[in-house]
Chains A and B, each alone.
Chain A
Amino acid sequence: MKLSPVSQGVYKIQNGTSALVTYNSVKGKNVYGEKLIEFHGDEYREWNPKRSKVAAMLMKKFKIPLVKSSKVLYLGASTGTTVSHISDIVTEGIVYSVEFSPRPMRELIKLCEMRSNIIPLLADASNPSSYSAIVENVDIIIQDIAQPNQAEIALLNSDKYLKPGGYLVLSIKARSIDTVENPKKIYKSEMNKLLNSSSCCFELVKKSELAPYHKDHLAIVAKAES
C-alpha cells in the first residue's frame, strides 16, 4: 500500500486500485457508508468522486485551495457527504454549512454533533443576510446547489462573505438550469454571469467538465480580486 498527497489533507491510497482519501478526524466512524482504510496506524475515509463534486474536481487535477486553517462557506451542504471530508481537511478551520431543506438537515445535524468544526445553518442561500448573524468572512466559498439561479446565488454570497483574494469553487449543473438546452450554451452564459458581474471581480483559475464522474456538470474555480 502506498500513500501519496494530492493536496493538503487529501491523499491517494494505492493498493491495486487507487482511491482518494481524507484523514478521518472522528476515528472509527464513517458518515455515509464509505470505506475506512487503515494505514500505518492512521485511519482514512475513502472519498468517492462519483458522490462528491469536490472529489471529482480533485480527480480532474483541480487545485482546491483548502488548507488546515481555512474558513469555508459551503452552500448546499445536503446530508453532509462532501462537508464531512472538508471538515477532515480543515482541522483547525471552520465550515459554515448552509442547507435549506429540513429533510437532509436532520442528517447533517447528526454529523455536526460529531464534528465540532461544522456549523449548521438552516437557511436560504439566496438570501445571505438570513445568516449574517453567524457567518464571518471566509477564505473559500464552495457551492453545490442545483438551482436555476445558482450563479446569482454565488455572486450574492461572494459579495458579502468572500475575503479579497479568496476563492469561489462551484459546479454548474446544466440540467437544473434548463433541461432542454445544450449544456455548452448554458456553461457559457453562466460563466459570463460569474466573470462579468458588477458586484465582484473574479479571475478564472480553472474550469472543466466533471465527466465521467458527473454528467453535464461544469466545475469552476475562480479567485476574487485582492
Chain B
Amino acid sequence: MKETSKYPSWFGSLLLDENNELEDTVLHIKDIQFLAETLKDYIFTKPKMNFTGRNLSEEAIKCGFVNSKEEYYSLLHQVSVKTVKLQLAEMEQSDLKIIQAINALDDIDKSANELSERLAEWYGIHFPEIELFGDELAYFISKHGVRKNIGANDNYFNLAESSMGISFNDEDEDIITEYSFNILSLYATRRKIELYIHEQMDIVAPNLSNIAGYLLGARMISIAGSLEKLAKMPSSTIQVIGANKALFKHLRSKATSPKHGIIFNHPTIKGSSWRHRGKISRSLASTVSIAARVDFYSSETILNDDLAQQLEAKIKSIKKL
C-alpha cells in the first residue's frame, strides 16, 4: 500500500508519495481575497507538523496554478500582504488600548505640570500673593482674569487690593486666560482618560484591578507589554518590574536585591513599615500574578473576591511578625 501525505501550501494542498515527491495537487481558486482568508485561517490554527521544505514556486508552475515565476511571486506578494493585513486587523487589542491610555496619562501629567509651573510664574508677575497651583490656579485665572476683576466678597479681595504685582492690560489678560483655559482642558482630559482606564480595566482585567488598583494594574500591563506577557511572568519578576536599574545592579555586582518595583505604589506597601515591605510585596506580587492569569486565561472574566480576602489575611499575618 502506498503511503501519501498532505502538504498544505498557500495555493492548494500538495499530495506527496512516500519519497516526498509531488503526486497530485488540490488547487484553490485563484482569487486573492479567498487565498488570503484561507491562509489566515490556516496560520491561525498554529500548525505544528513535521515536514521538509519544498520548492513551492517550481511546483506551482508544474501543477499549472501559475504560468511563470513572475506571476507566482506577484500573486504570492499580493496574497501575503493581504493575509498580514487580515491578521493585524483581527488581533486582540483591548490591552493595547489600555497601554496607550496609561502612557497618555503619564504624558499629560508631565506636560500639565510644566505648563502649570509656567502659568504660576507668569501670573506671579501680576499677583504674586496668590498661593494657588496647578488646576486651581488655572481655574482661578480663567474665572477672574486680572486682579481688578476679583469681587469684594472673594477670599482674595484684600490680597488683590494690596498686591505688589505689576498691572496687566487687556492684551496681557487675554493671552493668559487663553493659556489657563488650555491647561484646564488638559486636566479635564486627564480625568476622562482616568475614567476610561477604569472602565477598560474592569472589562479586560477585573481581578488585576481589584488586587492592584486599576492604575497600577494598567501600568503593570504597560511595562510587561501586554496582559498575556504579564500573565506569563513569574511573580518574582512582577515583584521587581519597574526596578530595572536596581535589579541589574544586583545581578552584576554585589548590591542587594530590590524588594519592590512599581508595585511599591500599592497603598499596602507604601503605608507599611519598611520591615514588612519586602514580605508584603512578595505576597502582593504572587496574588497579582494569579489575578493576571485568571484575567487572561479564564474564558469569562469574573471578579473573584477570594483572592483579595486571602491577600488581606496574609498581610495581616505578616504585620503581626
> Which residues of A pack against B, CB within 8 Å?
94, 102, 105-106, 109, 112-113, 116-123, 127, 129-138, 160-162, 179-180
With contacts A117-B73, A160-B51 known, what are 7 further pairs, Cβ within 8 A?
A: A119-B80, A122-B43, A131-B43, A132-B8, A133-B42, A136-B55, A137-B53
Chain B 33-52 interface residues, beta-carbon cutoff 8 Å to A: 39, 42-43, 46-52
Whether the Cβ atoms of B77 and A119 lie closer than 8 Å is yes
Q: Which of B7, B42, B53, B84 contacts A122 (CB 8 A)?
A: B84
Q: Determine the distance from Cα of A43 to Cα of B84 in the docked complex, in whole angstroms.
A: 30
Whether the Cβ atoms of A116 and B74 lie closer than 8 Å is yes
CB distance from A212 to the nearest CB of B (A): 22
Are A120 and B80 also in contact (CB < 8 A) when A94-B73, A129-B47, A133-B8 are? yes
**Is the CB of B318 closer than 8 A to any CB of chain A?**
no
Contacts of A113 in B (CB 8 A): 81
Residue on B nearest A96 in the bound complex, by CB: B80
Residue on B nearest A124 in the bound complex, by CB: B46
Residue on A nearest B48 in the bound complex, by CB: A129
Contacts of B49 in A (CB 8 A): 129, 132
CB distance from B312 to the nearest CB of A (A): 36
CB distance from B250 to the nearest CB of A (A): 10
> Which residues of B pack against A, CB within 8 Å?
7-10, 39, 42-43, 46-57, 73-74, 76-77, 80-81, 83-85, 87-88, 91, 248, 251-252
Whether the Cβ atoms of A120 and B81 lie closer than 8 Å is yes
Q: Which of A94, A127, A136 contacts B54 (CB 8 A)?
A: A136
Q: Determine the distance from Cα of A135 to Cα of B47 in the docked complex, in whole angstroms.
A: 14
Contacts of A136 in B (CB 8 A): 53-57
Contacts of A102 in B (CB 8 A): 88, 91
Q: Which of A121, A129, A179 contacts B248 (CB 8 A)?
A: A179
Contacts of B54 in A (CB 8 A): 136-137
Contacts of B51 in A (CB 8 A): 129, 132, 160
Q: Determine the distance from Cα of A112 to Cα of B78 in the docked complex, in whole angstroms.
A: 10
CB distance from B104 to the nearest CB of A (A): 17
Q: Determine the distance from Cα of A184 to Cα of B87 in the docked complex, in whole angstroms.
A: 40
Q: Which of A132, A160, A180 contacts B47 (CB 8 A)?
A: A132
Contacts of B48 in A (CB 8 A): 127, 129
Whether the Cβ atoms of B84 and A134 lie closer than 8 Å is no
18 inter-chain pairs at a CB distance below 8 angstroms, sorted by A residue, are A102-B88, A102-B91, A109-B88, A118-B77, A120-B84, A122-B43, A130-B47, A132-B47, A132-B49, A132-B51, A133-B9, A133-B10, A134-B9, A134-B56, A135-B53, A136-B56, A137-B55, A138-B53
Contacts of A135 in B (CB 8 A): 53, 56
Contacts of A127 in B (CB 8 A): 46, 48
CB distance from B280 to the nearest CB of A (A): 27
Residue on B nearest A103 in the bound complex, by CB: B96
Q: Which of A106, A121, A130, A162 contacts B80 (CB 8 A)?
A: A121
Contacts of B46 in A (CB 8 A): 127, 130
Whether the Cβ atoms of A160 and B252 lie closer than 8 Å is no
Whether the Cβ atoms of B88 and A180 lie closer than 8 Å is no
Are A160 and B52 also in contact (CB < 8 A) when A102-B88, A129-B47, A179-B248 are? yes
Contacts of A94 in B (CB 8 A): 73
Q: Which of A116, A117, A162, A179 contacts B251 (CB 8 A)?
A: A179
Q: Which of B9, B43, B55, B81 contacts A109 (CB 8 A)?
A: B81
Contacts of B85 in A (CB 8 A): 109
Are A116 and B91 also in contact (CB < 8 A) when A130-B47, A134-B39, A136-B55 are? no
Q: Determine the distance from Cα of A195 to Cα of B252 in the docked complex, in whole angstroms.
A: 30
CB distance from A207 to the nearest CB of B (A): 26
Q: Determine the distance from Cα of A105 to Cα of B248 in the docked complex, in whole angstroms.
A: 30
Whether the Cβ atoms of B55 and A122 lie closer than 8 Å is no
Residue on A nearest B11 in the bound complex, by CB: A133
Are A119 and B87 also in contact (CB < 8 A) when A129-B51, A133-B9, A180-B251 are? no
Whether the Cβ atoms of A130 and B43 lie closer than 8 Å is yes
Contacts of A106 in B (CB 8 A): 88
Q: Determine the distance from Cα of A151 to Cα of B8 in the docked complex, in whole angstroms.
A: 27
Q: Determine the distance from Cα of A120 to Cα of B43 in the docked complex, in whole angstroms.
A: 13
Contacts of A180 in B (CB 8 A): 251-252
Q: Which of B52, B74, B84, B251 contacts A105 (CB 8 A)?
A: B84
Q: Determine the distance from Cα of A121 to Cα of B51 in the docked complex, in whole angstroms.
A: 19
CB distance from A106 to the nearest CB of B (A): 7
Q: Determine the distance from Cα of A117 to Cα of B252 in the docked complex, in whole angstroms.
A: 45
Whether the Cβ atoms of A123 and B74 lie closer than 8 Å is no
Residue on B nearest A113 in the bound complex, by CB: B81
Q: Determine the distance from Cα of A119 to Cα of B76 in the docked complex, in whole angstroms.
A: 8
Q: Determine the distance from Cα of A127 to Cα of B43 in the docked complex, in whole angstroms.
A: 11
7 shortest interchain CB distances as A-B pairs? A136-B56, A161-B53, A137-B53, A133-B10, A120-B84, A119-B80, A160-B53
